[in-house]
Amino acid sequence: MLSCEQKVLRVLVVDDHELTRFSLKLALQSQTDIELVGLASNGREAVEMATRYSPDVIILDLQMPVLDGLSASTEIKTLYPNTRILAYSSLEDPQTEVMLQTAKVDAFCKKDTAIKELIAMINKLGNHADKSEG
């Protein structure tokens, strides 16, 4: 059945830098079709919050303390394969490409990406999640 109502995407932000979390929080809160369900500062918190809040999309930093983003993405995808993960990183290292090929992420976004583009990626991932579950 078709509906005119747009689904609100549940998004979790995971980054060890407070300023990045705060900036993303402000950007996402201004979106009518996105609900920010939580902010985590490391991969372990990300796994716990994924269980608690069932986000549609997770914006996940790759380099973090306690549990890095690549390990966290593997755990999250094992538990919740339909959750979409957007790797969010400032890495320029050639090893990044190799890491991303083995990572359990659905998309990659550099931290210098414009907010408008980031929001578009979140919406694309979230809408893709809808289609894969049906």
Collapsing DSSP states into helix, strand and coil, what is residue 99? helix
Distance of CA 79 to the CA centre of its chain: 15
Measure the CA–CA gap between 1 and 22, rounded to whole angstroms.
38
Taking the model in full, what pTM does it have?
A: 0.85
Q: What is the DSSP letter of 46?
A: H
| Per-residue pLDDT tens over the stretch 67-94 | 988 889 999 999 999 999 998 877 665 4
Higher pLDDT, 13 or 64: 13
Identify the CATH number of the domain defined by range 9-133.
Answer: 3.40.50.2300
